[in-house]
Amino acid sequence: MSIHTKSDFKISSWDQRPYDEPKDGATLLQIDVKRSFQGDIEAESTAVLLMCQAGDGSAGYVATEKVVGRIGSRFGSFVIQHGGAVASGNVTDSFGYVVPGSGTDELQGLRGHCVWHHDEHEATFTLDYDIE
């Protein structure tokens, strides 16, 4: 049975740079992000996002993110991969999971799925996980 966690997060650093800016069509960006988490997860993370941003505001991204800190009473690190698409300001599709075998220290054997929620009122991260 999975354990459900929810944490607030803040973005402490966002460094984006385009790597393809065509005259017509979508812009491709690489973004380095740092976050801090407070709640069921107390941690810091670093991520690299690859984003496609269309002229109408639609976008899609994929990311690999290393999280270092505490889940409950367990300390260690783990890696998540996540992504999503946004059209007309609404998330239309998203995914997120713990990379198998990426857990260290007391988080070895961690597996699970995650969801990001970010709007003008809150920024939350939920993780449903098991530890083998």
Q: Greatest CA span in the chain, whole angstroms?
A: 51
Which bin fits 49, alpha (ψ -120 to 50), beta or left (φ > 0)?
beta
Digit-coded pLDDT (tens) for 39-68: 999 999 999 999 999 988 899 999 999 999
Domains and CATH numbers, the chain: 3-131 (2.40.350.10)
Distance, in Å, from the CA atom of 53 to the CA atom of 31, rounded to the nearest integer, reads 12
Give the model's pLDDT for residue 92.
74
3-state secondary structure of 2: coil
- The chain-wide mean pLDDT, for the chain, equals 93
Q: What is the rounded distance in angstroms from the CA atom of residue 20 to the CA atom of residue 26? A: 8
> What tens digit of pLDDT does each residue of 67-97 get?
999 999 999 999 999 999 988 777 778 899 9
Q: Please tell me the pTM assigned to this model.
A: 0.91
